[in-house]
Amino acid sequence: MTEYKNVLITGGAGFIGSHLGDLLIENGYNVFVVDNLSSGNGHNLNAKAKFYNLNINSIDLENIFKENKIDYVFHFAAQASVSFSTKNPTEDATENILGSINVLKFSKKYAVKKFITSSTAAVYGVPKYLPVDENHTTTCLSFYGLSKLTMEKYTELFGIDYLIFRFANVYGPRQSAHGEAGVVAIFADKMKQNKEIIIHGDGEQTRDFVYVSDIAEVCLCAIQSELKNEIINVSTDKAISINRLFELMAEKYCYKKTPSYTQARFGDIKHSILDNKKCNELLGITPATSVESGLEALVG
């Protein structure tokens, strides 16, 4: 008989968290979601998930652990905007550091089996070599990157079993085109409305785009595996330029306008590709969806 496990997802109404929630429910897990809907969307929630509209800094967070015997925690709730963190470092630290400590505290108190959290490629700063592996130095260029790196350090020192995933550029359905949105979501939104698209810089900057369903599959492996206490990149280990991304998406959306180019944004990294060998070696899985296939699924 299947042993049903209770899984808490903070930020579970968000882009990545909601896809994970769907996959966990499909695989027989009981899913509990904490989200204050500041960036998440209630429409993303699976009807079978138990939802708590709550900020992760709330003292009421403990009641969820107390009432539901949580086995695993996926901590995805975060302030994810680089520009917001620059203008509002206190709020950024409150959400990403203090909020994470609150989740960690109750995870430890109620003997959670594994704490799995999402970090970011932003912790690496400007790459000294490509692809960037987990041993690369961490030299943050923003308060956002620093707050996520600090969250990682608290996770390592808290005395519970953990996995820290550093995600590449995630894209797919349900990703918002507003706020600190990914370029795929922004392009898709503009193309659907036949609006002008602006590319910062020359468009030859490259990124490592990973499809959200692949992220969810890696996360499912994380709780089915005995692996613990590791930091792991989750990526395709493949580079694509923003210009090439535009071409592929324009073809799929039948978009005829040419993009406008503007000055590169201060602090933008020219090339960012993450090495995914460790993910494959330790979890036996790596994101396999090509950008072409992912965009095909996104467009429908």
Give the catalytic positions in this structure: 144
Residues 295, 184: Cα–Cα separation, whole Å? 9
Residues 17, 110: Cα–Cα separation, whole Å? 22
Q: Token pair 């620093």 is at which residue? A: 146
Sign of CA dihedral 289, 293, 298, 300: negative
Residues 104, 125: Cα–Cα separation, whole Å? 26
Amino acid, single-letter form, for residue 112:
V
Residues 215, 233: Cα–Cα separation, whole Å? 11
CA 50: distance to chain centroid? 21
Token representation of residue 233? 């990149």
Residues comprising the chain, all counted: 300
CA 189: distance to chain centroid? 20
